[in-house]
Amino acid sequence: MPLLSYRDAIRQALAEELQRDANVVVLGEEVAQFNGAYKVTEGLLERFGPKRIIDTPISEAGFIGMGVGASMLGIRPVMELMFWSFYSVCFDQILNNAANIRYMSGGAINCPIVIRGPANGGTNVGATHSHTPENVIANHPGLKVVCPATAYDAKGLLKSAIRDNDPVMYLENTILYGDKWEVPDEEYLIPLGKADIKREGTDLTIVAHGRAVINALAAAQLLEREHDISAEIVDLRSIRPLDEETVLASVRKTHRVLLVDENKPFCGVGAQLAFMIQEQAFDDLDAPIKRVSAIDAPAIYSAPAEIEQLPNPQRILGAAIEVLR
């Protein structure tokens, strides 16, 4: 099977859906002539032309809102936020319009829009450009949220997101853009709300999403090699909808849980998971649930400190050993 980078997988998904449906348009800052700030949309302008691939001004509230409006009238906009961190300047359009219009219209309207872009820290750019809003977004009924960790998942989830009739917030990670994974040539879709066991194990369940999955996999190797601990890694892939069954099945198998995400801890995705696990699998737990989140502070600029602020294999390893103690 050919190896494809996470970046190229996203581009392939965009190209395939642009090819399939004439109502799909790609809009965002620098997506066309500049070929994408992170080169995700490279070559799409040349292939699909300026009607389909559109550079926007730096005007997130304007163009995201415009995309929501266009989605109400038959367009399927795929909007790029150069950084998901900029959601704050267009959040009224996302939460009051994309999320609420269907409800406030009694189901008369739907907004098939995708908003995508990187949402991660760890790049030495300081607090304004390092937000991870998946928990904030998932707090708003009406929105769907996906966080792919691999190229395979990125492609399959984005294709599903573009075909989805609800607004899907698609959170990428700049650090993963260059990672290569096996991606088949033939077309495939990954449904939203389906978690993936990225590694089978028997002693401990680690639940993660996005780049935390990759760090958890690295930690699992260390656990195996250095501590003879077999960790199972559940990659949520989708935050809302959430695949509870896969998480609970793993918990019932291993009886111990470590939650890892790059979010801040307070009201993070892990908080919801911990509640859900204790509610539905209390008797299956042999130890308190632990979690590894970003250290609870704005994202620090200093690179070595930022590595420690985010979940990394060593932090995950240490927490895993505590769960098993």
Residues that bind another protein (CB under 8 A): 23, 25, 51, 56-57, 59, 61-75, 92-93, 96-97, 101-110, 112, 141-142, 144, 160, 163-166, 189, 191-195, 238, 240-245, 272, 276
CB of 126 to another protein, least distance (A): 24
Q: Specify whether the CB–CB gap between 137 and 85 falls below 8 A.
A: no
Catalytic residue set? 60, 129
Residue 59 or 202 with smaller CB distance to another protein: 59
CB of 128 to another protein, least distance (A): 18
Buried b (16+ CB within 10 A) or exposed e, 202-225: ebbbbbbbbbbbbbbbebbebbee
- Which of 145, 114, 156, 148 lies closest to 23 in space, CA to CA? 114
Residue 161 or 300 with smaller CB distance to another protein: 161
- Which of 143, 237, 249, 247 lies closest to 194 in space, CA to CA? 237
Write out the two tokens for 323.
Answer: 């769960």
Residue 80 or 243 with smaller CB distance to another protein: 243
Q: Specify whether the CB–CB gap between 23 and 52 falls below 8 A.
A: no
* Residue 70 neighbours by CB distance under 10 Å: 18
d(CA 96, CA 74): 20
**CA angle (167, 168, 171) in 5-degree steps:** 145
d(CA 76, CA 23): 6
CB of 81 to another protein, least distance (A): 15
Residue 110 or 312 with smaller CB distance to another protein: 110
* Residue 278 neighbours by CB distance under 10 Å: 13
Ramachandran quadrant class, 27 (left: phi over 0; alpha: psi -120 to 50; beta: rest): beta
CB of 74 to another protein, least distance (A): 6
Q: Specify whether the CB–CB gap between 251 and 285 falls below 8 A.
A: yes
CB of 286 to another protein, least distance (A): 25
Residue 76 or 315 with smaller CB distance to another protein: 76
Residue 5 or 96 with smaller CB distance to another protein: 96
CB of 109 to another protein, least distance (A): 6
